[in-house]
Amino acid sequence: MPGHNNSQQPVAWRYSGDQMKRWRTKADVSREELASAANYSPDTIASMERGVRRPTPRVLDVADELCGAEGMLSAGKAFLDRERYSARAQDFVDREKEATSVWWYDVSVVPGLLQTKGYARALIDNRIPPLDEETVEERITGRMERQSIFTERKPPVGLSFVLYEAVLRAPQVDAEQLRHLLEVGRLRNVVLQVLPFERAIPAALMGPMVLLETCDHERFAFMEGQFASELSADPGVVSRVTERLSMIRTQALGPDESARFIERMVDSRE
């Protein structure tokens, strides 16, 4: 599978936004009037009308009533997927649901599968540009639901995580999040390791990497940057990611030593 660019927003977003604009124009309702009635900014309404942002159920209902659409706009709610994942992450999440094994290395944030709700909110709620509250709640819910991978899949999924020390030193990582890492690390199907600053190698500073394998023995590599991400099944890409992950794992502390490392951090924050 080649690298996938998710810059194109879903057709349902663009169609619903276009219909909202057409009904608003027909009813001679200004963008500012709709924004005030729906408790959004005019810029947000403009983004929804262009299909850049998902029109929310609330704005469709308000627009329907304000523009006299007699249910035509509200009916669009059934065709708009709840935005539990960003467009760029959707392909990865779909593959994660099929995975029988996961290798994950992160250099800057706690992986979504290991996040507490408080930590997830701190990240999602402070996104730039900001998300509306409904989308924030949907994404937090989606992230928490993904964590069923630890205990609810049969046979169990094998999961291996390596976290660079900088991840654990970030201000958003509180004692609750550290204790959660220790708890997950004790699961039989999970290996959790820490890569200390002094053991970092060049491959460890190149950004987060994930390797997924499915029951059909398909292997996918996922790499995420600040503005773009890539999910690839290309054998060459998968091989390079596998090699880098293997090198990082050999430099990281073992699971028991990693647990003691995290325990010392918990003690220092309480």
Burial of 124 (0-12, 13-18, 19+ CB in 10 A): buried
What are the pLDDT digits (tens) for 23-77? Answer: 999 999 999 999 999 998 999 999 999 988 888 888 999 999 999 999 999 998 8
My answer on whether 126 and 177 are in the same domain is yes
Beta bridge partners of 162: 105, 193
More confident residue, 90 or 178: 178
My answer on whether 132 and 52 are in the same domain is no
What single-letter amino acid sits at 163? L
Residue 5 within any structural domain of the chain: no
pTM: 0.74
The answer to whether 38 and 59 have CB atoms below 8 angstroms apart is yes
My answer on whether 265 and 131 are in the same domain is yes
Q: How many CA atoms lie within 13 A of 270 on its CB side?
A: 11
Q: Which residue from 43, 176, 192 is spatially nearest to 122, judged by alpha carbons?
A: 176
Q: Determine the longest span between alpha carbons in the chain, in angstroms.
A: 67
Strands (E), 44-181: 99-106, 158-164
My answer on whether 17 and 114 are in the same domain is no
CA gyration radius, the chain: 22
What single-letter amino acid sits at 2? P
User: Does residue 2 carry a pLDDT above 50?
Assistant: no
My answer on whether 67 and 167 are in the same domain is no
pLDDT level of residue 4 (50, 70, 90 thresholds): very low
My answer on whether 96 and 64 are in the same domain is no
- Side-by-side strand order, sheet with 209-214: 190-195, 158-164, 99-106, 209-214, 219-224, 229-232
Q: What is the H or E stretch that residue 224 is in?
A: strand 219-224
The Cα-based distances of 166 to 123, 200, 206, 227, 263 in angstroms read 16, 11, 14, 21, 16
Query: For 57-61, 156-160, 250-254, which range has the lowest pLDDT when averaged over its residues?
Result: 57-61
My answer on whether 138 and 258 are in the same domain is yes
What single-letter amino acid sits at 227? F
- Count the domains in the chain: 2
My answer on whether 94 and 174 are in the same domain is yes
pLDDT of residue 226: 67
My answer on whether 242 and 114 are in the same domain is yes
The overall average pLDDT reported for the chain is: 90
pLDDT of residue 194: 98
Q: What percent of the chain has pLDDT over 70?
A: 93
pLDDT of residue 5: 39
Residue 186 within any structural domain of the chain: yes
Residue 63: CATH number of its domain? 1.10.260.40
The Cα-based distances of 17 to 36, 131, 139 in angstroms read 17, 17, 21
Residue 245 sits in which domain range?
Answer: 87-269
pLDDT of residue 6: 37
Q: Which residue from 227, 168, 218 is spatially nearest to 193, judged by alpha carbons?
A: 168
pLDDT level of residue 251 (50, 70, 90 thresholds): very high
User: Does residue 136 carry a pLDDT above 70?
Assistant: yes
Phi, psi of 46 (to 5 degrees): -60, -40
Helices 11-26 and 42-50 sit at what angle, rounded to 10 degrees? 120
My answer on whether 245 and 145 are in the same domain is yes
What are the pLDDT digits (tens) for 71-95? Answer: 999 998 888 765 566 666 778 888 9
My answer on whether 151 and 244 are in the same domain is yes
My answer on whether 25 and 159 are in the same domain is no
The answer to whether 133 and 200 have CB atoms below 8 angstroms apart is no
Give exposure, 234-267, as e/b (b: 16+ Cβ within 10 Å): eeebbebbeebbeebbebbbebeebbebbeebbe
